[in-house]
Amino acid sequence: MESCNRKEVEQGLKTEEFNTHEVDVTSNAGEKSLSSKVKDVGSISNRETYFRADKIDFKSWDIQLDKHLSRAWSRDREVQTRREEWEIDLSKLEIRHVIAQGTYGTVYKGNYDGQDVAVKVLNWGEDGIATDAEIAAVRSSFRQEVGVWHKLDHANVTKFIGASMGTSNLKIPPKNPMNGSYDSHPSTECCVVLEYLPGGTLKKFLIRNRRKKLAFKVVIQLALDLSRGLSYLHSKKIVHRDVKTENMLLDAHRTLKIADFGVARVEAQNPRDMTGETGTLGYMAPEVLDGKPYNRKCDVYSFGICLWEIYCCDMPYPDLSFAEVSSQVVRQNLRPEIPRCCPNSLASIMRKCWDANPDKRPEMDEVVRLLEATDTSKGGGMIPEDQSTGCFCFTSVRGP
């Protein structure tokens, strides 16, 4: 009877042999522990293994398995959260106050690792207003901007410091200082950290000088900074696609630096791959407005408009609607009116840059050479408004 019961127990406890490829016990200590348990409770044959269930330390097995899985999950998380080369440590970033606000984000002044910085925080539309397509477009724009910007190094391009794909640890000062706590942001937002340029945008600088205008040597200096920056971008096969005075920043010494690469892209080998209306009306080349293929020469056109704006300290087409500008630039060859006091050398550069035929526009490195050869010793700046009888100059007098 006892012999019969013993056989039943042994048959009931029969188990399949453990496959070492199925349970990877990586700890040496764990392997020794398991081996000792097996020797104590079973007999090993060539074909089958028998264990006494009441002698097996399942808790020890669970501990070893948990350790193994924990290491595997840690490796997976490390792969998923591995930082991009441009990612920053948000714990080193301090946000101070708002500089500017836009449709999809806010720009703050801050400090990163002891350096004054500008922090561009992008809002991806978690407030429920933006559509999924719009959110996807902003995310794509962010990756595109960072992908372009972090590789650039030039005196006339705003210095990229870093970026972050998540802002859950970003400490944003509250709109109400009496609140005392930081504003929270969705973890899926992102931020770009750049060198801080205290001079603000070129647009605001020109507005401040709208009445008294700029000396000719200042005009040429700003134009050279912009042309050198664009020439550098084009040498890297990058088309900015939104060249305008709002996207140019000034440092404390009035050095101009190109910023905002949200719509920049690497130039396609086939121009037909680059189509669509990208940019700002008033600065957009006719081929872009007309939905035709374009290349880096669209930046040259926009530079020509910016050059006119720098010289005149005024806005192009202030009295026309968007629809009128778009139609007349393409169909009627509309361009800003060049003042008569503008030196022929500068007026010639403007006309060459905004030629309707992209193939006739100069390369930016040629524009740099033309500007470098411009004589500023005799003045030639726009006549200030209080010294002229009208908006444009009809006398032979030269400005400063």
Per the domain annotation, does 226 fall within a domain?
yes
Q: Token digits for 113?
A: 């690792």
Q: What is the pLDDT along the chain (400 residues), one digit of tens a residue?
A: 555 554 554 554 444 444 444 444 444 544 444 445 444 444 444 556 665 666 666 667 777 777 777 666 655 444 445 567 788 888 889 888 888 876 557 889 999 999 999 998 876 655 556 677 776 776 777 777 787 788 899 999 999 999 887 666 677 776 655 555 555 555 557 788 999 999 999 999 999 999 999 999 999 999 999 999 999 999 999 999 899 999 999 999 999 999 887 545 554 444 443 434 556 788 999 999 999 999 999 999 999 999 999 999 999 998 999 889 999 999 999 999 999 999 999 999 999 999 999 999 999 999 999 999 999 998 888 888 666 554 445 444 555 6
Point out the domain boundary residue: 80, 110, 128: 80
Q: Are residues 190 and 208 in the same domain?
A: no
pLDDT, one tens digit per residue, over 88-108 is: 888 889 888 888 876 557 889
Q: Is residue 399 part of a domain?
A: no
Task: Say which DSSP state 267 is in.
Answer: P
Whether 68 and 37 map to the same domain: the answer is yes
Identify whether residues 209 and 299 lie together within a single domain: yes
Q: Which domain holds residue 27?
A: 2-80
Q: Are residues 248 and 348 in the same domain?
A: yes
Q: Based on the domain organization, do 264 and 342 belong to the same domain?
A: yes
Same domain, 105 and 209: no
What CATH number has the domain bearing residue 306?
1.10.510.10
Question: How far is CA 185 from each of CA 82, 106, 182, rounded to the nearest angstrom?
Answer: 22, 12, 10
Q: How many CB atoms lie within 10 A of CB 320?
A: 16
Count CB neighbours of 173 within 10 A. 17
Record the pTM: 0.71
Beta bridge partners of 98: 108
> Is-contact 99 108, C-beta < 8 A?
yes
Q: Determine if residue 275 is left, alpha or beta; phi over 0 gives left, psi from -120 to 50 gives alpha, anything else beta.
A: beta
User: Count of domains in the chain?
Assistant: 3
Task: Give the residue numbers marked as catalytic.
Answer: 242
357 with 374, same domain: the answer is yes
